[in-house]
Amino acid sequence: MRIVTSRIAALAAAIVLSAGCASSGGPARSGAAAAASTDAPVGPSRGALIIAGGGRLGPEITDRFIELAGGPAARIVVIPTAGEQDTFPQDWSGVQAFRDAGAAGVTVLHTRDPVVANSAAFAAPLRDATGVWIAGGRQWRLADAYLGTRTLDELHAVLSRGGVIGGSSAGASIQASYMVRGAPEGNTIMMANGHEQGFGFLRLAAVDQHLIARGRENDMLEVIAAHPGLLGIGIDEGTAILVRGDRAEVIGRSKVAFYNTRDAAGAPYYFLEAGDVFNLAGRRTVWGDRLPATTVDERAVVSAVQKLFDAMRAADTAAVRAAFHPDAKLFVPGGPAGQPTLRVSSVNDFVRSVGASATRLDERFRDPEVRVDGNLASVWTYYDFYRGQIFSHCGIDAFHLARDGAGWKILQIAYTTRQDSCRT
């Protein structure tokens, strides 16, 4: 097998450097500062990266990827190898989003065999690609298939030609030089011996994903303590960083955490939001407000919504009522033949309907978008609704909540209902 020795040596040196800092006996913060003091390049010298944290990605991310790849003339290669399936057809459902966004030329590239990945014939689609997207799953599958092969060499060549490489979830973590959550045994293991090397599009860096949605905010601290030369980046769902050179711009609906920075002011990490810009080599914020290292409020808001759904499933009318402010309202916009109507009901109406139901009411939400400002919050989320085990309908829930002495209470819910175009 042809091995790209120079690249592997460079990545290995990066990992050894960060491990050496950890063994020096000095504090992690001073070790990181020493490693970062040279302002060594982190991002690619040419091309662009889009590194997304998983979940539902909005058009501000997918459209930017298509634009960077060349718009309608883009030649995109999608790599789904992190997924569980053994084979992925050319019409795999994961490519539809790119076609919907206007990309006409989309090719699926997949193998689990590094010998195949090392062949010129397999890697050929990458030689003409203007954009590559690495889909989610488990990042160790990507490492096992492509590290040290011609395919990885061609991926770097895409960037050298000025193309764009994007990825979400596993496709985000694999882009860094240090790969977190690489253990085949499970994705809760941050550092797995033998599964720590990523593709190295970002040097001296580690990237985590699903950050706030899965309560992973503090997990990167373990990695930084062991490898204090690394820059840590944690990206929430529906959010990405767009990297050109050493400039990382946050795009999407949530937040990105940066660890081991020069401007942390003693905090273990801080957050940036959409529109904010971070200097990867200088390890400091260029533009934007550094938000404190806490997302307790967001999780508490989602928990308040989850408690309502749990109470509905249990037909616990007292717990349903307790989820709401006493004056809360429920709004259902709709109307036949395109004529708008609005149905309004009270908390008492809703509680009675739950208590009167002969079947279990099972509402399941996914990909919630949460916004919090002090004691005011909103949640926008997809939902699927089941009566017992039978699917009933789907739609969008839009919650407004306020916090009082007893915690978060629902002020109102506006929701849509439909039975087609559901993603169950």
Tens digits of per-residue pLDDT, 386-415? 999 999 999 999 999 999 988 999 999 999
Q: Please, which residues have CB within 8 angstroms of residue 4's CB and are 6 or more apart in sequence?
A: 148, 149, 150, 152, 153
Q: Is residue 132 part of a domain?
A: yes
CA distances from 175 to 119, 169, 247, 248, 357 (A): 22, 10, 16, 14, 50
Residues 232 and 312 both lie in one domain:
no
Residues 236 and 313 both lie in one domain:
no
DSSP designation for 38? T
> Reduced to 3 states, what is the DSSP secondary structure of residue 81?
coil
Query: Tell me, what CATH number does 317's domain have?
Result: 3.10.450.50
CA distances from 369 to 109, 215, 380 (A): 32, 15, 5
Q: Is residue 229 part of a domain?
A: yes
To 5 degrees, how large is the angle CA 50–CA 181–CA 297?
75
Q: Is residue 424 part of a domain?
A: no
Residues 205 and 328 both lie in one domain:
no
- For 326-343, give one letter per residue: b (16+ CB within 10 A) or e: eebbbeeeeeeeeeeeee
Residues 286 and 147 both lie in one domain:
yes
Is residue 332 within a helix (H) or strand (E), and if so which, with residue range? strand 324-334
Of 274, 294, 314, which residue is a domain's last?
A: 294
What are the residues facing 394 on neighbouring strands? 384, 418
Amino acid 424: pLDDT? 53
Q: Is residue 106 part of a domain?
A: yes
Q: Is residue 421 part of a domain?
A: no
Q: Is residue 187 part of a domain?
A: yes
Residues 283 and 325 both lie in one domain:
no
Query: Tell me, what CATH number does 82's domain have?
Result: 3.40.50.880
Amino acid 38: pLDDT? 54
Residues 234 and 330 both lie in one domain:
no
Structure tokens at 191: 């550092």
- Short-list 254, 351, 342, 268, CA closest to 301: 254
Domain enclosing residue 338, as ranges? 297-415
Residue labelled with tokens 């690394």: 230
Regions of the chain where pLDDT drops below 50: 1-37
Residues 323 and 234 both lie in one domain:
no
Is residue 338 within a helix (H) or strand (E), and if so which, with residue range? none
Q: Is residue 151 part of a domain?
A: yes
Residues 238 and 321 both lie in one domain:
no
Residues 24 and 43 both lie in one domain:
yes
Of 242, 267, 294, which residue is a domain's last?
A: 294
Is residue 215 within a helix (H) or strand (E), and if so which, with residue range? none
> Reduced to 3 states, what is the DSSP secondary structure of residue 348?
helix
Is residue 16 within a helix (H) or strand (E), and if so which, with residue range? helix 5-22
To 5 degrees, how large is the angle CA 102–CA 174–CA 85?
70
Q: Is residue 188 part of a domain?
A: yes
DSSP designation for 57? P
* Residue 329 backbone dihedrals phi, psi, to 5 degrees: -130, 155
Expressed in percent and rounded to 5, the helix, strand and coil fractions of the chain are 30, 30, 40
Concatenated DSSP letters of 116-155: HHTSHHHHHHHHT-SEEEE--S-HHHHHHHHTTSHHHHHH
Amino acid 37: pLDDT? 44
Amino acid 372: pLDDT? 84
Residues 50 and 63 both lie in one domain:
yes
- Report whether 41 contacts 245 (CB < 8 A): yes
Residues 202 and 326 both lie in one domain:
no
Of 270, 294, 318, which residue is a domain's last?
A: 294
Residues 330 and 203 both lie in one domain:
no
Helix axes 139-146, 150-160, angle to 10 degrees: 100
**Domain count of the chain?**
2
DSSP designation for 230? P
Q: Residue 285's Cα: distance from chain center in Å?
A: 21
In whole angstroms, give the CA distance from residue 75 to residue 48: 15
